[in-house]
Structure 1
Amino acid sequence: MNHRFLTIISTGALGLASMFATAQNPIVRDQFTADPTARVFNGKMYLYPSHDIPSPIESLKEWFCMADYHVFSSDNLVDWTDHGMIITQNNVPWVRPDSYSMWAPDCVYKNGEYFFYFPSAPKGERRGFQIGVARSTSPTGPFMPMREAIKGVNGIDPCVLIDDDGQSYIYWSGGGMMGAKLKDNMVELASDPVRMEGLPDGFKEGPFIFKRNGKYYYTFPWVRKETETLAYAMGDNPLGPFEFKGVIMEESPTGCWTNHHSIVEYNGQWYLFYHHNDYSPEFDKNRSARIDSLEFNADGTIRPVVPTLRGVGISDARRHIEIDRYSSISPKGVKIDFLNPDNKFDGWKSSFSKGGSWVRYNKVNFGEKPVKTVSARVKSPAGGTLNVLVDGPKGKKVASIKVPKCNDWRVVSADIVGDAPLGVHDLVVALQNGRVDVDWVGFDALPWTAGAMTTGRYRNMFAEAGYSQAEIDAKLAAIYDSVFHGPNKVYFEVGDSMAYISDIKNHDVRTEGMSYGMMIAVQFDKKDVFDRLWRWCRKYMQHSSGDMDGYFAWSCKTDGTRNSQGPASDGELYYITSLIFASNRWGNDTGINYLAEARNILDKSMLKTGHNRVAPLIDVNHKLITFTPDRWGGRYTDPSYHLPAFYEVWAKWAGDNRSEYWLECAKASREYLHKCTHPVTGLNPDYSNYDGTLLGRNGIFGDAFRFDSWRVPMNIALDYSWSCADGDWQRAYGNRIQDFLYSQGIDDFVDQYNVDGSTVERIASAGGKTKLRHSLGLVATSAAVSLTCTDPKCYEFIHKLWNSGHQPYDDGYFDAYYDGLLRLFAFMHLSGNYRVICPAENSSESI
């Protein structure tokens, strides 16, 4: 254990609560989500809420204002994915586009289609609401709205029930609580509307109907006094009559006027989805979705549900646990407040002010491997001590965290004492003395669980490891200078307008290095460097005619003479992405139209037909990048060329009308990485078949983990940092490959292995030298993957990188090019400076 990690880490805003997916209420942390309708499709939970927004028009400043719908999904009720906007008031033909009246929706599946039902205010003179339908072949869309609303349905809050015999029913509120049969086409009524009988007096809305054990449950928000309860009735027929049974959830204790809900069974447990104004306590027209468990009595009646902050699901101990979403709390001495009253989506804090006060957070999974450290993000004007316990305020103490005097937020860590807990336990944080504010608590290394493409934030792991920002900035600048300007530089300017990056040991210029240099230049805002490199590439490397038109010769002499005409696909991959970033950063009117150049590569590379055996950059059958898009390399791929988040960048900003395709490529690439990495060691071959299997060739390159393969840990770290779309697997991968390398000796692991971790029979040479080494390039990438890791030994890898020098090995071999570039990339990653570059109006930060 490197005890430098256990010191206090002053990192400013290191870990805002809104950044992390959690098993807590509210379940969506970056926007308002009211009226949550939950549905299970294909074993996954989907959530279709309405979307409260601050009103852009004066008439709705004090009322509900909703312009569109998003859809969210989860397979564990803990981590929710926002699939983006699916319907807006501006793309529904019958909806008045300035009505902001996209109220509570529903979605069901029948006959191979998903039908999304929603209310809104119609165009024309007609007052009130109508209900329309949009259709899709996917639960996440795209949805195509019907041109007209459903005839005969006037009201709000649609709910659709598909009975066991296949007959569908639609329910709504407006002029009473109404229902009718639907035709099999799901967009027309098959019967006249009827009023639901057997319901209590008083205002009612938002019907949600489900069937259980042969009984129909008609549930609804009901104003019994002044604010809404959730109530229900039961019946033997889908259109009633019903017998009123009582209240599922009482009125809001804080006075939120509305509630709206859905009830669904998932993996054998029933859940109540509802909303509350957690993020807007002063204005109850901005609501947020919650979940709590729901139970039935033996006679089928529903047990009342008490709303909780904790919500549902089992939390991972190796994630940030926001104890302010507690399951129980001591009667005195703890107060829950917003972290930032000016931005409530930042979440909450627990303020401990009395010794012995505590907060209990239930169902934390410590796993099968003992945790080693505990960390907390804290602030304390006078200091104090926090005790961390399991299984109750008088349970077993697992750590004491000494909190120093600190007026700004800090992360403070401590070692676990005694036997670490295993499995699922309740977690308790108690104040021993002093006064301490707590944002979150977590165990071991705590990778973030949301990507920068969503949050705009980047993790600074050097700061977490104890280095000051001044040290980090100076180190990064020095490493950049050594690569581009120092005595062992690989960057060389040519005349007034061009430059190249050379693989010194091989005496050539490669698309690999040129595109890497362009990516580094745009990340560091070095426009002149970027433009010089691109002009050299365009003049000497890019084919402008013939079968290879648009592709780049992968290797040239330093005078521009081509060593090979064929391309290597990773060059094109980086060219396209760095050009898009250049367009976003500098625009396209400063002498180079960067976006047009990126599109030119995309268009010409993807329109190859195989004529003269020149293949597309991405294999169209597998949606995976080729090793080289020619007659040989087009048959297989290279794991180190796989950067799924790059495709997401293309989908977002390339503007080439292939967005959906690029997202499919990102998904296929992540699935491929699962297959090509060894399940125990995490190692991958240099090349593989598209299904991830080894090529089985006799050549020295191909089936072993060698030079190309070093890049894979860092590439997976990039995908995790930018997208985090495959977080569970990537966290396990990071731990797995670091476990293997650590087992070989953190100062001794070598740069070539068979993928099962055994010693290679033949050693590949580099720069005329044939030897296994503890290579700087692999030291760098094995540290970069720490962005994904949950084991605290990842900080040991980070310290090793920090303290590494770049000098000749003991046999005289020196690689200024590959080792130097990978080292620079790793420092960029771990300092939070390898970023998705958005158009200039957007910003991002490193924390």
Structure 2
Amino acid sequence: MKGLFKRILSSVFMVVVSMGTAVGQNPIIKGQFTADPTARVFNGRMYLYPSHDIESPIDELKEWFCMEDYHVFSSDNLTNWTDHGVIVSQNRVPWVKPDSYAMWAPDCVEKDGRYYFYFPAAPAGEERGFKVGVAVGDKPEGPFMAMPRPIEGIMGIDPCVLVDDDGKSYIYWSGMGMKGAQLADNMMQLSSEPVMIEGLPEGFKEGPFVFKREGKYYFTFPWVRKKTETLAYAMSDSPLGPFEFKGIIMDESPSGCWTNHHSIVEYDGEWYLFYHHNDYSPDFDKRRSTRIDTLSFNPDGTIRKVTPTLRGVGVSDARSRIQVDRYSDVSKKGVSVDFLDKSNPFDGWKVRIGKKGSWVRYNSVDFGERPAQRVMANVRSAKGGVLRILADGLSTENVIGDIKVPAGGGWMEISESVNGAPSGGIHDLYVELADGNDVEVDWIGFDAMPLTEGAFQTGAYRNLFAEMGYDPKEIDRRLDDIFNELFFGKNRIYFEVGDSMGYVSDLKNKDVRTEGMSYGMMAAVQLDRKDIFDRLWRWTRRYMRHDDGDNKGYFAWSCKPDGTRNAHGSASDGELYFVTALVFASNRWGNDTGIDYLAAARDIVDNSMLKAGKDNAVPLINLEHKLITFTPDRWGGRFTDPSYHVPAFYEVWAEWLGDGRSKFWKECADKSRRYLHDCTHPSTGLTPDYSNYDGSLLGRNMPIGDAFRFDSWRVPMNVALDYSWSCADRDWQRGYVERLHDFLYSKGIDEYVDQYNVDGTDVKEILGAGEYKKLRHSLGLVSTAAAASLVSTDMKGYEFAQKLWNARHEPYDDGYFDAYYDGLLRLFSFMHLSGNYRIIFPESN
């Protein structure tokens, strides 16, 4: 293992990894501009409703603010933020002037279980100025439905709503002064005449944000007292004033950014100020980005002035890429910050530590419960140097380890052992230049560092093999070899029929299964083998699809190689993969090359949904639980299979299937993730082959069902896929992989077997495979356990991945050889670990 981590990785690999950087520092949202941030706490989670600066597509706004829609973001730790996508856009609101690009500062509040999103925009027609509209949703992230008309009586911008303790609601806005009024109970009409807010200083003011604390009303606002905006406030005993001006919350920006706009919110007993700055656009202050800093009060209730920071708030995971350029403190001399790439500011920054003894401090790093074993940094230096990593101070007893940076011109990821890492808990991290001059640092991290954002957001995939030091050319060659061996080698599972068809066979069972056919199609579309994909789909469509009867649109799960059906029923995982692979084929190759892939995918889904309320065939998805069935019939429709759960597939359907059921598919993804929590053993991480929809065991005392056996091997790989693509359940998924790896490791990383009871005890009856019945250290499970390393923060993950790298697909000691299942799981897992199992976006994107 030692030699594995001493290798230095070039900047080629850094590009793949760094795009998924955690955004726990200021600014908190990257990849897009977010201004005018309104933060609200709903259901114990922080939601962020900013405006959205974009580059203007029209000449008249090239030098001005340009905003066409609103996104909503959320977080439960103020460090990792989820983009829930667009909730309102200018051309989908009936009363808004098309292409006006004036969707300015919004707000959102909850009342009686409904969520009301308020936004300003330019009205259609001849009327000038701004009006305020409202959109309504059942969830804080939407979907929202915009009302057909704006709120009567409001002409202005920057709406803010206060729902008072007595249930009354008030709306505030700016425009020819600062104004407020009471809202009607329906939250969409005024119930009082607007009043001018009195007691505020002279000068330009906008963006009111009103909150209540300890019986006092705080009217806060951006205010130009000189040339650019401060954040100021006044206080009152009444929601509509009069107010008494109290002073400044935040001074003007030293960089000269003209605007500031904000919200103030309490979360988990702490108060926070959300505001914006032009961090990513220093030369043009009409492109802003959201920041957070803590806020506190004096004993008399007045607000203490907030000093902006780069570090921001929240706790950073030591097993993540820590952006030390967003520091908490620096030495007086020798430290500077600049963009990594000035042509692409969203790539972030680097810190240059210029002279021996210079340092940066980054606070609140969580080392968890396990001591770190390795430290890694992405660095470069023309002359070389030594970075000293310390915890909680610069004295020698605080040294974690040293990183020797060789002289050179390019970025390098360097990994070194640590000898003094904290045993756990939250600590301040120091990076000091112990020797040399001019070392640039992009990030620092410890142990394995999975990405913290999914590929749906970033387009990035982790190449764990490259991260471990394997040569990229060798990784690509080995993937080609694995694929060619499986599809064209001596022990191939793929067979061509005539000029246009082909099938994948489970050789040990001498049949063709929808499982294998759909897996083969997924491999083919992932690796851009249209020829193989089309052959497999034509064979599937001809021999396996039911064209009439109760099962119309479904596929017979098992056939002989000549196409004769062994069984007429369907297995839901085959249809799940067929639909997703067909959607990807549509995205990659279009629908005009002989097969309309998207129509074929919709046909499966539409036929499935038509079976609601029938007896002999049911939808693939149980409509009550929104979970996939084991088989879509009266028997298998009563329970599910954990290994059929690939939540990110439903997100693919929601995005590109175009069947009008996007909301439903997103709900299925959420339900599927929740189900995996329930069906997984809390200590071992093992799942049964089958379970009830609530995750409980079937309890039928049958060899197949309640134990961890062949089907269950796929769960770790599926969790890795969902993490890599979506990262929507990152905390649970990391804990799951840690439990699973710990259990398998405890059995011996080269000795664990392929069947256990879910509590980790030995099975009483061994389930056979083909003509063989024996417990094995099976390649299929070795592969999927390795795939789970994409999620792991522990160095064990590297060991599991290395076992797959070194594994060979050959007969076991008793002569048993599984070309099909072991082979496909090996291929898929290698694709995952090399960053080659991807979301296939439409080619036009």
Question: What TM-score comes out, normalization by structure 1 length?
Answer: 0.98
Q: Which residue of 1 aligns with 2:834?
A: 831
Find the counterpart in structure 2 of residue 171 from structure 1.
Answer: 172
Between 176-185 and 75-84, the greater mean CA deviation after superposition: 176-185
* TM superposition shift of 1:494: 1.0
- Cα distance in 2 for partners of 1:17, 1:156 equals 38
Q: Letter of the aligned partner of 1:195 in structure 2?
A: M
Give, in angstroms, the shift of residue 673 of structure 1. Answer: 0.6
The amino acid across from 1:766 in the alignment is: A
Shift in Å, 1:594: 0.9
Displacement after TM superposition at 1:118 (Å): 1.3
Alpha-carbon distance, 1:6 to partner: 3.8
1:814 aligns with 2:817: yes
Question: Could you tell me which of 575, 579, 585 is aligned with 1:572?
Answer: 575
User: Per-residue CA shift, 1:419-472, capped at 9, x if unaligned?
Assistant: 534201100111112332111111110000111111111111110111101100
Match of residue 674, structure 1, among 673, 677, 682: 677
Q: Which residue of 2 aligns with 1:722?
A: 725
Q: Which residue matches 2:444?
A: 441
2:106 matches 1:75: no
8 Å contact from structure 2 (residues 398, 420) kept in 1: no
Report if aligned partners of 2:47, 2:72 keep a CA contact under 8 Å in 1. yes
Find the partner of 2:427 among 416, 425, 428.
425
Find the counterpart in structure 2 of residue 845 from structure 1: none
- Determine the C-alpha separation between the residues in 2 that align with 1:635 and 1:180: 54
The equivalences for 1:320-335 within 5 A come to 320-335=321-336
Secondary structure of 1:65's counterpart equals coil
- 1:602 corresponds to which residue? 605
Q: Give the distance between the partners of 1:124 and 1:566, measured in 2 at CA.
A: 59
Cα distance in 2 for residues equivalent to 1:502 and 1:13: 37
Given the alignment of the two structures, is residue 38 of structure 1 paired with residue 39 of structure 2, yes or no? Answer: yes
- Stretches of structure 2 that go unaligned for 5 or more consecutive residues are none
Q: What is the deviation of 1:405?
A: 2.7
Amino acid in structure 2 at the alignment position of 1:289: T
Q: What residue in structure 2 maps to residue 413 of structure 1?
A: 415
Alignment of 1:726-737 (within 5 A): 726-737=729-740
> Where does residue 291 of structure 1 map in the other structure?
292
Task: Please give the residue correspondences for 1:493-532 in structure 2 after superposition, counting only pairs within 5 Å.
Answer: 493-532=496-535
- One-letter code aligned to 1:287: R
Confirm or deny that 1:695 pairs with 2:689.
no
Q: Give the equivalent residue in structure 1 for 2:212.
A: 211
Q: Please report how far the alpha carbon of residue 111 of structure 1 lies from its aligned counterpart in structure 2 after TM superposition.
A: 3.0
SS at 1:545 equivalent: coil
Question: Which position in structure 2 is the counterpart of 1:665?
Answer: 668
Counterpart Cα distance in 1 of 2:682 and 2:659: 37
Instruction: After superposition, give the CA deviation of every residue in 1:340-382 in whole Å (9 maximum; x if it has no partner).
Output: 1111011111112211111100011111211111111112223
| Cα distance between partner residues in 1 of 2:351 and 2:153 | 52
* 2:570 partner letter: P
Cα drift, residue 610 of structure 1:
5.3
Q: Which amino acid aligns with 2:10?
A: S
Partner of 1:457: 460
Change in CA separation of 1:728 and 1:565 when aligned onto 2, cut-off 3 Å: same
Aligned equivalent of 1:614, options 614, 617, 637: 617
1:634 aligned counterpart, secondary structure: helix
Counterpart for residue 356 of structure 2 = 355
Per mean C-alpha deviation after superposition, the further-off stretch among 444-453 and 197-206 is 197-206
Distance 1:98 1:620 in 2: 40
State the distance in 2 between where 1:43 and 1:422 align: 26
8 Å CA contact 2:78–2:313 kept in 1: the answer is yes
Distance 1:618 1:419 in 2: 48
Comparing 135-144 with 324-333, greater Cα deviation is found at 135-144
Q: For residues 113 and 642 of structure 2, what CA distance do their matches in structure 1 show? A: 36
**Is the Cα contact below 8 Å between 2:11 and 2:410 reproduced in 1?**
no
**Of 381, 397, 400, the match for 2:399:** 397
What is the aligned counterpart of 2:564 among 556, 561, 566? 561
Tell me by how many angstroms 1:612 deviates.
4.5
SS at match of 2:538: helix
Separation (CA, whole Å) in 2 of partners of 1:402 and 1:783:
30
Aligned AA for 2:74? S
- Greater shift, 390-399 or 510-519, is seen at 390-399
1:95 touches 1:122 (CA, 8 Å); kept in 2?
yes
Distance 1:536 1:385 in 2: 61
| Structure 1 CA distance for aligned equivalents of residues 157 and 204 of structure 2 | 14
Is this contact kept in 2: 1:378–1:411, CA < 8 A? Answer: yes
1:197 lines up with 2:198 in the alignment = yes
CA distance in 1, matches of 2:447, 2:596: 47
Distance 1:116 1:621 in 2: 30
Query: Cα distance, 1:300 vs. partner?
Result: 0.6
Measure the CA separation in 2 of the matches of 1:155 and 1:393.
54
Contact 1:199 1:242 in 2 (8 A): yes
Residue correspondences, number: 842
C-alpha distance in 2, partners of 1:685/1:189? 57
CA contact (8 A) 2:778 2:822 kept: yes
Mean CA deviation greater in 59-68 or 415-424: 415-424
Q: Residues of 1 paired with 2:623 and 2:163: CA distance?
A: 39
Q: CA deviation at 1:190?
A: 2.1
Q: Is the 8 A contact 1:121 1:129 kept in 2?
A: yes
Higher mean C-alpha deviation, range 342-351 or range 38-47: 38-47
Aligned equivalent of 2:85: 84
User: AA paired with 1:428?
Assistant: Y
Whole-Å Cα distance in 1 between the matches of residues 614 and 220 of structure 2? 63
Greater Cα offset, 603-612 or 41-50: 603-612
Q: 1:162 to 1:151 in 2, by over 3 A?
A: same
Q: Does residue 1:630 correspond to 2:622, yes or no?
A: no
- Structure 1: unaligned runs, 5 residues or longer: 843-847
Deviates more, 1:738-747 or 1:138-147: 138-147
Distance in 2 separating the partners of 1:575 and 1:780: 23
Matched AA of 2:709: R
CA distance in 2, matches of 1:245, 1:234: 7
The secondary structure found in structure 2 opposite 1:360 is strand
Per-residue deviation, 1:10: 2.7
- Contact 2:136–2:146 (8 Å) recurs in 1: yes
Tell me the distance in 1 between the aligned counterparts of 2:771 and 2:559.
19
SS of corresponding position for 2:12: coil
Tell me, what secondary structure is at the counterpart of 2:411? strand
Kindly indicate whether the alpha-carbon contact (under 8 Å) linking 1:12 and 1:410 is maintained by their aligned counterparts in 2.
Answer: no
DSSP 3-state at the match of 1:714: helix
- Residues 477-525 of structure 1 deviation map (CA, whole Å, 9 limit, x = unaligned): 1111100111111111111111111111111111111111111111111
Alignment deviations for residues 248-282 of structure 1 (CA, whole Å, 9 cap, x no partner): 10010110011011111111111111100000000
Instruction: Assess if the C-alpha contact under 8 Å between 2:331 and 2:358 holds in 1.
Output: yes
* Separation in structure 2 between the aligned mates of residue 362 and residue 568 of structure 1, nearest angstrom: 52
RMSD: 1.3
Note the C-alpha offset of 1:18.
Answer: 4.9
Aligned equivalents of 2:10, 2:741: Cα separation in 1: 26
Counterpart AA for 1:209: V
SS at 1:605 equivalent = helix
Contact 1:316/1:364 (8 A) holds in 2: yes
The answer to whether the 8 Å contact 1:12/1:408 transfers is no
**Where in structure 1 do 4 or more consecutive aligned residues deviate above 4 Å?**
15-18
- The superposition leaves residues 93-114 of structure 1 with CA deviations (integer Å, 9 ceiling, x where unpaired) of 2221122111111111223322
Aligned-pair CA distance for 1:691? 0.8
Matched, 1:651 2:637: no
1:458 counterpart SS class: coil
Contact 1:158 1:173 in 2 (8 A): yes
| SS of residue paired to 1:231 | strand
Distance of 1:4 and 1:338 partners within structure 2: 31
1:158/1:172 contact within 8 Å kept: yes
Aligned to 2:119: 118
Query: Do the aligned partners of residues 209 and 17 (structure 1) sit closer, same or farther apart at CA in structure 2, a change above 3 Å counting?
Result: farther
Correspondences of 1:237-276 after superposition (within 5 Å):
237-276=238-277
SS in 2 for 1:19: coil
Return the alpha-carbon distance in structure 1 between the equivalents of residues 551 and 193 of structure 2. Answer: 66
* Superposition deviation, residue 13 in structure 1: 4.5
Aligned to 1:572, the other structure's residue is in SS state helix
**Contact conserved, 1:261 with 1:275, CA < 8 A, in 2?**
yes
Q: Partner of 1:445: helix, strand, or coil?
A: coil
Distance 1:205 1:672 in 2: 47
Aligned to 2:134: 133
Residue of structure 2 aligned with 1:593, choices 593, 596, 603 = 596
